[in-house]
Homo-oligomer: A and B are copies of this chain.
């Protein structure tokens, strides 16, 4: 398998975690979203691989898959062990809802193309963009904290005592929140789960600073 990835893309980070948790061998192919001319993902070479021009994309058996959650569901169906979703339908719905809270309610508002639009089309300055970023990431993380703190299914990880899809989405978003200096002190359950995840090689090796294309 081949993963088209950018070290700082949190959607790519999710898939890197999932591949590692499942122990699936893969090559990382870096795609530089910050390259001159708007980024390598907009170039013809990458568009030929993934016409949507978004990262990540996974190549498996000659097919290219996109959208991080669709990729992880595919890995779950084709390599079910270890499972990243629980076995029961209600549990699966809970884990997917936690993951989608990150993937739909936080991340899309804070990715690079949106921040660029805020700057170039709406004239938002650095402070306004940071406030925007912090607003959405904290709103979403507080929803997750309240839910994880109150629901009995929460364990050592987001759902029980095995890491899974929700953790793979949460951890990259926690890192993003720190990048804009959000105060995470009021999120004790998230911090506890993050610490449990970062004690695992699967998460640590997937982190941006351990990627071949990492730069400061």
Contacts and interface: CB of A to CB of B under 8 A. Distances in A.
Interface stretch (A20-28, A99-107, A172-180): A99-107
Contacts of A147: 51-52
Nearest to A73: B96
A124 to B, nearest CB: 6
Nearest to A107: B104
Given A74-B89, A109-B108, A143-B51, A67 B150 contact: no
A103 B135 CA distance: 20
Determine how many copies of this chain the complex contains: 2
Contact of A77 (B77, B89, B124): B89
Contacts of A131: 121
Interface string A89-129: 11011101100110111011100001001100110100010
Contact of A114 (B94, B109, B117): B109
B108 A66 contact: no
Contacts of A55: none
A63 interface: yes
A96 B70 contact: yes
B117 A67 contact: no
A90 B63 CA distance: 8
A contact residues, range: 35 or more
A1 interface: no
24 contacts: A51-B146, A53-B143, A63-B90, A65-B93, A65-B94, A67-B96, A67-B100, A67-B101, A69-B96, A69-B104, A70-B94, A70-B97, A74-B89, A74-B93, A74-B96, A77-B89, A77-B92, A104-B107, A108-B108, A118-B122, A121-B128, A121-B135, A122-B122, A122-B124
Interface of A: 51-54, 63, 65-67, 69-71, 73-74, 77-78, 89-90, 92-94, 96-97, 100-101, 103-105, 107-109, 114, 117-118, 121-122, 124, 128, 131-132, 135, 143, 146-147, 150
